[in-house]
Structures are given as C-alpha cells and as structure tokens.
Amino acid sequence: VQLQASGGGLVQTGDSLRLSCAASGRTFSTYAMGWFRQAPGKGREFVATISWSGGSTKFSDSVKGRFTISRGNAKNTVYLQMNNLKVEDTAVYYCAAVAPHDSSWSQRSREDAYTYWGQGTQVTVSS
C-alpha cells in the first residue's frame, strides 16, 4: 500500500500549483482521501478532504476559496489545486487515505482519521 505525493515546488506569491497523490497496492477508489501540511516548526494541519465518490469536499478556513480537491477518473488519484498561493502556504504537503467506514466525515479533518500516509512533497512560496 503506497501513496505517492508529487507536484510540489518553489513558486511566488499568487502563483498556482497542482499536487497529485497516486495510490497503489489497494483499491483506493472506495477510500476517502485528504491533504495535510506541516510548516517548519509547526504541527501537521488539515488542508482538505474528499469523499470516495468525490461528491463531498471539506477545506480548512485558511485555504477555502483558493484550493480545490478532486479525484481522477479512476479515483485512485487525488489532486490538490492550489491557487493564489501565499507565503504562509509554505509547508510539506502530505496525502492520506482511509477506508470509508473507518472514520466518519466529521472526523476527516483529524490526522487520526486516516490510515495510510504518503511521504510528503515540499511547497515553498516566496514573496
């Protein structure tokens, strides 16, 4: 079971990036998936989550209106489209997955709601 996050990089304020998370080793098409981030010296924080069907999404207040989350057609890939990036978005971004019955929708902003984690991809936003 592997989650592979990619797409990070160095951008400037106001730019856009799209992160990808590819799942393999299990049928993740039925799994809910989420993105978290960890800035230097801080704990990991919730960014966004999407249901297995893609029909429900949730975002942290800090990214709402700027980030979107979506699933690929095969639903084994999840994307995080990040627009109007700010310096405070600088962090290592992690994707995570959980079987739909292993946690409730209301819990999905918590780290402990997820079973599988990717290795992280660095996003750096310069002013």
What are the strands of the beta sheet with 77-82, ordered from one edge?
Answer: 2-6, 17-24, 77-82, 67-71
The whole-number pLDDT of residue 37 equals 98
Cβ-contact 79, 18 below 8 angstroms: yes
Per-residue burial over 14-28, b = 16 or more CB atoms within 10 Å of its CB, e = otherwise: eeebebbbbbeeeeb
Low pLDDT (below 50) residues in the chain: none
Strand partners, 48: 35, 59
The whole-number pLDDT of residue 24 equals 85
Cβ-contact 32, 98 below 8 angstroms: yes
The whole-number pLDDT of residue 47 equals 98
For the chain, report the end-to-end CA distance as a whole number of angstroms: 38
